[in-house]
Amino acid sequence: MSGLGRFREYLVEKDLNQEQIDKSIDVACGFDEYLSKSGKKLENASYEDLYCFSDILIKNGTNTVDRYVALFRLGNFLKNNELIIASLEVIDGSEMIENFYNRLGVEFGQHVRDEVFDGIGIPPLGIRPEAKPEFTKKLVERFLAKFDNDTCKAFFEAGLRDKYTASYVGPKQMYEELDDIDKFLISKHQKLVSTLKKHSQEKTLFFTQEVDDDVVSYVGDRVTIEGGIREGNRVTITKIPYMTRQFLDANNEKKKRHFFCHNPWIRYALREEDQPVDPVFCGCSAGYFKNFWEAIFEQPVRVEVIKSVIKGDEICEFVLHLPPGIVDEE
């Protein structure tokens, strides 16, 4: 059976519907045809190959999310980490600039939205990571020129990513079962460490990053990662680096900040610039945590950025301000 035939079987085993299977096979065939022109095969497709193919999809106007999801599935089937990483890079946070555009229109009026995005527009899905920061810099600069810092801060802290409501269900159930914020924080951290250990043992990726014993040790020693340390009504939280192995190996501050940053719309600029965008933009990450914790508590919360790589710190750190009733008054 051909490689694409086996890919179809793989998709069937994943319980995808016929439309998803047909779309995935169609995209895989197109990618295979593109590679064959250079004497390459799907099994050996590289990170750069995917972005060259993406350039073609953009040019043809066929750069849709489902096509990149299909390439992600193909990468998983082939156990090709470069394809997995590149396709996830395209998909991760792809909604942020469009959400920026839409929220500006809703909250400040279409005239403000059009002025901020004038001559820029919404970047096409699938552009190369190194091209993304230029859009972000211009948009944030124009936004900041129109409003005071507090207004901009509040806007970004509401978040630019979509709310991943399905991913909140399990944690919320765990929180309700434990009925204790401190136990919940410990359990969240321990669950991440267990997940990383599994990836390390199986030599599989955790999202976009390879995991080894050093990565597991780094995260295991820092209970604020994915969990948190509570003092009164304040919980200190830090992120796991976006690429932990590379972060640990980095030999200068710029590289460390680049490999730590999770924001796909500014991350690559950190390789060359100390502060490529105003730190107020880091409120987006606070918004990510805000959405999660509001789903857990079913009430509004405030999340504050304490450290960020865009401000020059080595890590990103946040404080969650617990709403009333979560802990006994101390």
Q: State the chain's mean pLDDT as an integer.
A: 95
Residue 2 has pLDDT above 60, yes or no: no
Residue pointed to by tokens 């009164």: 232
Give one DSSP letter per residue of 139-183, joined into a string.
HHHHHHHHS-HHHHHHHHHT-SSPP-HHHHHHHHHHHHHH--HHH
Is 65 contained in some domain?
Answer: yes
The model scores a pTM over 0.85? yes
CB 28 within 8 A of CB 68: no
Residues 73 and 120 in one domain: no
Distance CA 210, CA 79 (A): 13
DSSP 53: H
Final residue of a structural domain among 91, 106, 137? 91
Task: Read off the pLDDT of residues 236-291 as tens digits, 9 standing for 90 and up.
Answer: 999 999 999 999 999 999 999 999 999 999 999 999 988 999 999 999 999 999 99
Residues 180 and 294 in one domain: yes
CB 262 within 8 A of CB 242: yes
Distance CA 61, CA 55 (A): 10
Q: CB atoms < 10 A from the CB of 6, how many? A: 12
- Residue 163: what pLDDT? 84
Between 4 and 260, residue with greater pLDDT: 260
- Residue 92: what pLDDT? 94
Residues 263 and 277 in one domain: yes
Is 30 contained in some domain?
Answer: yes
Q: How large a percentage of the chain has pLDDT more than 70?
A: 98
- Residue 1: what pLDDT? 41
Final residue of a structural domain among 75, 91, 107? 91
- At residue 321, the 3 state secondary structure works out as strand
Q: What is the mean pLDDT of residues 144-170?
A: 93
Give, in degrees to the nearest 5, the angle at Cα 198 between 197 and 199: 90
Distance CA 243, CA 259 (A): 5
Residues 86 and 102 in one domain: no
- Residue 255: what pLDDT? 95
Is 327 contained in some domain?
Answer: no
pLDDT band at residue 165, thresholds of 50, 70 and 90? confident
Final residue of a structural domain among 138, 157, 176? 157
Residues 65 and 189 in one domain: no
Residues 126 and 189 in one domain: no
Task: Read off the pLDDT of residues 172-231 as tens digits, 9 standing for 90 and up.
Answer: 999 999 999 999 999 999 999 999 999 999 999 999 999 999 999 999 999 999 999 999
| Lookup: tokens for 223 | 């209970």
CB 300 within 8 A of CB 174: no
Residue 3 has pLDDT above 90, yes or no: no
Residues 15 and 76 in one domain: yes
Q: CB atoms < 10 A from the CB of 175, how many? A: 21
Range of the domain at 128: 96-157
DSSP 327: S
pLDDT band at residue 329, thresholds of 50, 70 and 90? low
Q: What is the mean pLDDT of residues 287-312?
A: 95
Is 329 contained in some domain?
Answer: no
CB 217 within 8 A of CB 172: no
Residues 290 and 181 in one domain: yes
Is 328 contained in some domain?
Answer: no
Residues 301 and 212 in one domain: yes
Residues 169 and 316 in one domain: yes
**CA neighbor of 271 nearest in space, from 287, 288, 283, 253:** 253
Residues 121 and 203 in one domain: no
Residue 77 has pLDDT above 50, yes or no: yes
CB 23 within 8 A of CB 44: no
pLDDT band at residue 35, thresholds of 50, 70 and 90? very high
Residues 172 and 257 in one domain: yes
Query: For the chain, what is the domain count?
Result: 3
Measured N-to-C along each axis, helices 3-13 and 18-36 cross at an angle, to the nearest 10 degrees, of 150
Residue 9 has pLDDT above 60, yes or no: yes
